[in-house]
Amino acid sequence: MSAEMKEKFPANEDRQRVFAELQQCNRHGLVMPVDTLHMYYAALESKACKLSALGAHYRRLAELNRI
């Protein structure tokens, strides 16, 4: 990326960290993007992601202090 592009569009490290975590969760089948095919496009288009059935199951277990 050119210096000019970096100046026009500065990186937001917090958002990059969150996106990296969501990508990992997506790769493990815990979350999925809504109304788009890939997490990359969801991020570009500011779309949501949701828990998969497996992700919801693990969340429920965590709420019950079973994991």
CB 38 within 8 A of CB 32: no
Residue whose pair of structure tokens reads 């990508």 in the numeric block: 23
Tokens of 51: 């828990």
Distance, CA of 40 to CA of 56 (rounded, Å) = 22
Query: What is the three-class DSSP state of 13?
Result: helix
In this prediction, residue 38 carries a pLDDT of 93
Question: Does 54 score more than 80 pLDDT?
Answer: yes
CB 48 within 8 A of CB 31: no
Question: Who wins on pLDDT, 10 or 48?
Answer: 48
In this prediction, residue 8 carries a pLDDT of 77
Per-residue pLDDT reduced to its tens digit, 3-43: 877 777 788 899 999 999 999 999 999 999 999 999 999 99
User: pTM here?
Assistant: 0.78
Boundaries of every domain in the chain = 3-63
